[in-house]
Amino acid sequence: MHLSLGSLGLRLPPQPPSDLLLLNAVHRGHLESSAGLYRRHYRAVHAYAGTCVRSEKDARALAEQAFGELLSGRRPPARRRRPHCVRLQLLDNVRTLAATGPLRWHGDLSVPFWSWAGLDGGWPDTEDGALGAAFDALPAFGQCLLWHVSVEQESPDTVSELVGLSPDRVVRDSLRVSTQLRRRWLRAHLPHLAEPACRRALRQLQRSLVPTGRRDGGHHLAQCTRCAGLWASAAGLDQTLASELPRHVLGWWPHDDGNARPLAPPTLPIATHPGPAVPPHAGPHAQDATERPDTEGAPPRFPSPAGIALLALVLWTAIMCVVLAWPPPPQEESVPPTIVWITSQSARRHHAVPGQGRTTHRAHPAAEHGGPPRPSLAHA
């Protein structure tokens, strides 16, 4: 009998939105979604920026410019490198801004990065670019998954939040993508093999990936030293991805751990970046979360738009409560207009004058004009 969580009345927690969903929401005007992107990627982006420049201030500015370039959406996806991987887009923005921006001409770049940029930012051309070509031939989602799992070496739980899959699915798909990478890596070497027997054996190897005999290229490996070396490199490709693939994908990737040591991430200015002050771990070069960030010289913190809106709502509610609870001013009793008219007419007709024990009345206006006096009700 198969039991599911639904049949037991239990529900799994909702899957957090992936990076692409958050980025699309920001481009549609939902700026609050950028907080999730900062929380997931800021620490890794800041660490990478710290390998390009000398000071922490420039590293912070470079990281913020990289985020601004991505979140602004000025460049359409067709013109962006790796449009399906937010982390790679951010790192690519950092490298491009550092190599072509004003920091290059003010002597603010780090010595290793300056040396690399002085060579026109040349990508390594070893192995005829087979690794980079194999990576580019992967589906866009596979590129993003392979980068986070094999290069950044993040946990399945962390990657599941970035790509929008369950942790189990992340493990299965990453193994499948690694197999695809090895096959495409072998395929990229086919044009460089002159012997037909080598090309035929390599085609068989990329299909099976488990050479055992003549039909799958195993017999040829025992006779050809070059093909045996290619196969050994393909079999150990997973162990070299973390050190080799970044140089093929980004060009600049520091080798020395001292150069790659991240700088203390600053407190984010909430007015510009509504993310958390210190994003959690997001990359292999991220510093320990227990370290206190160096906030000296950091930009001032301003209330976010959401905070301003909440404050305005609270103030408006308080004002309305005071207005509704305030007692109304006392009002005079209103006299009907009919009574006012009758009273005014009576005052003109009967103007009472105090006398000796009796009251005299003025003559009726008609009598003053020569007409016969009308009888008074007082003498009736």
pLDDT, tens only, 84-119: 899 999 999 999 999 888 877 677 889 899 888 876
CA 365 to chain centre: 92
Q: What is the mean pLDDT of the chain?
A: 72
Integer angstrom CA distances of residue 184 from 150, 189, 266, 282: 17, 9, 41, 29
Domain membership of residue 318 (yes or no) is: no
- The domain in which residue 280 lies consists of 14-122+255-287
Kindly report the backbone phi and psi dihedral angles of residue 97, in degrees, each rounded to the nearest multiple of 5, phi listed first.
-65, -35
* Least confident window among 154-163, 310-319, 323-332: 323-332
In a domain, 274, yes or no: yes
Query: Does any domain span residue 19?
Result: yes
Strands 359-360 and 353-354, by their bridges, are antiparallel
Number of domains in the chain: 1
Of 330, 365, 336, the closest CA to residue 350 belongs to 365
Q: Is residue 272 part of a domain?
A: yes
C-alpha span between 239 and 253 (Å, rounded): 17
Classified as helix, coil or strand, 43 is helix
Report yes or no on 47 lying in a domain. Answer: yes
What b/e string do you get for 239-250 counting C-beta neighbours within 10 Å, with b at 16 or more?
eebeebbbbbbb
CB burial string 53-62: b at 16+ within 10 A, e below: bbebebbbbb
Report if residue 146 sits inside a domain: no
Bridge partners of 353, per DSSP, are 360
Please name which of 91, 379, 109 lies closest in space to residue 249, comparing C-alpha atoms.
Answer: 91
**Residue 55 domain-assigned?**
yes
pLDDT in tens, 132-183: 888 988 999 999 999 999 999 999 999 999 999 999 999 999 999 998 998 8
Q: Check: CB of residue 160 under 8 Å from CB of residue 166.
A: yes
Q: What is the pLDDT of residues 209-264, one digit of tens each?
A: 655 545 556 678 888 888 888 888 888 888 888 888 898 888 898 864 434 444 44
The residues, any chain, with a CB within 8 Å of residue 93's CB and separated by 6 or more, are 65, 66, 69, 70
Q: 272-296, pLDDT tens digit by residue?
A: 444 433 333 334 343 333 333 343 3
First-to-last CA distance in the chain?
Answer: 111
Interatomic CA distance for residues 233 and 245, integer angstroms: 14
Which residue in 96, 58, 74 sits closest to 26, CA to CA?
74
CA 233, 237, 242, 245 torsion-angle sign = positive
> What's the CA angle centered on 378, arms 374 and 349, to 5 degrees?
55
Q: How far apart are CA 258 and CA 109, in angstroms?
A: 16
Q: Is the pLDDT of residue 361 over 70?
A: no
Judge whether 361 lies within some domain. Answer: no
Where residue 315 falls among pLDDT bands split at 50, 70, 90?
Answer: confident
